[in-house]
Amino acid sequence: MRLKQLVKFATVVAGGCGTLMYAAKSSKLNATLGSNSNTAYAASKELSNKWDSDWDKRDGENGKASRNIILIRHGQYNLAGNDDHERCLTELGKEQAIRTGMRLKELGLNKKITHFVVSTMTRAQETGDLIYKQLGNDAIPVENTDLIREGAPVEPDPPIDTWNPERKTFFVDGARIETGFRSFIHRANPEQEFDSTEVIVCHGNVIRYFVCRALQLPPEAWLRLSLRHCSITWLSIRPNGRVSVKCLGDSGHLPHDKLTFE
């Protein structure tokens, strides 16, 4: 990837996995919607997880800015490749990336993006390069990182027969991807004066896991979400720690004949 490279994150430090805290206490909703414990609804409420405002351990920092984080899956790539280098973008994948860069520019983000983070895998590097060129703004700093390379974040529930990595793969990848989450998905630093818009170009499993974690949804639900190639997923993180997803897998900028999942 021939982009201005500010930082090269190559060292993966094993971190803890996940921070979702499921509060076991009864919700107020039991009283609201009826406390009949024979209903499935009441049962669900008993074990509901409450929102944790201190999910990123930044409560009390009194930051004032919001972060818009735009997660983009790489374009279609050569599935028959033997190694990462050979698993490069197809011609369609390149076109998907160019159109995605055009969409970001049409949204006026080329002047707003303050940080551009890219996975070091070939298909993400190529996608990031094509998007970056469309933005036409070489002042945007780029960070390449191994932390958000594709992997197996956590055993999905329900599982699928066609994708079944070894347990030790989840063990290693899970800590790395969680480290990526804690590195990139958190509220703004207190010294950040203005709202920021940041792009992260990476992979389907990583983005789906990040969304579940950021929204404090069960992380093992990540495989229930699907993401087309070069789709846009937009997280907003407010100074008070609230997180919302503005869109997930938005691919309306691609014509019908350019849409692919794999």
| Residue 249 binds a second copy, judged by CB under 8 A | yes
| Residue 54 binds a second copy, judged by CB under 8 A | no
Q: Tell me the C-alpha distance between 179 and 172, whole Å.
A: 11
Length of the chain counted residue by residue: 262
Nearest CA to 18 out of 160, 214, 208, 205 is that of 214
- Binding track, positions 225-244, relative to a second copy; x by CB under 8 A: xx-x--xx---x-----xxx
Judged by CB under 8 A, which of 6, 10, 13, 47 binds a second copy? 47
Q: CB nearer to a second copy: give 145 or 251.
A: 251
Q: Tell me the C-alpha distance between 91 and 75, whole Å.
A: 9
- On whether the CB atoms of residues 197 and 110 are closer than 8 A, the answer is no
Judged by CB under 8 A, which of 1, 9, 12, 29 binds a second copy? 29
Judged by CB under 8 A, which of 8, 22, 37, 86 binds a second copy? 22
Name which of residues 141 to 170 contact a second copy (CB under 8 A).
154-155, 157-158, 167, 170
Name 18's Cβ contacts closer than 8 Å, sequence gap at least 6: 154, 178, 213, 219
Q: CB nearer to a second copy: give 97 or 121.
A: 97
DSSP 99-165: HHHHHHHHTTGGGTEEEEEEESSHHHHHHHHHHHHHHT-TTS-EEEESTTSS---S--SS-BTTB--
Give the annotated binding-site residues for substrate. 123
| Residue 57 binds a second copy, judged by CB under 8 A | no
Closest distance to a second copy from the beta carbon of 131 (Å)? 15
CA angle 171, 230, 145 (to 5 degrees): 45
Q: CB nearer to a second copy: give 120 or 233.
A: 233
| Residue 17 binds a second copy, judged by CB under 8 A | yes
Nearest CA to 118 out of 4, 226, 244 is that of 4
| Residue 13 binds a second copy, judged by CB under 8 A | no
Closest distance to a second copy from the beta carbon of 190 (Å)? 21
| Residue 180 binds a second copy, judged by CB under 8 A | no
Closest distance to a second copy from the beta carbon of 40 (Å)? 4
CA angle 66, 68, 69 (to 5 degrees): 135
Q: Which residues form the interface with a second copy (CB under 8 A)?
A: 16-22, 24, 27-29, 32-34, 39-41, 43-44, 46-51, 53, 103, 106-108, 154-155, 157-158, 167, 170-171, 174, 215-221, 223-226, 228, 231-232, 236, 242-256
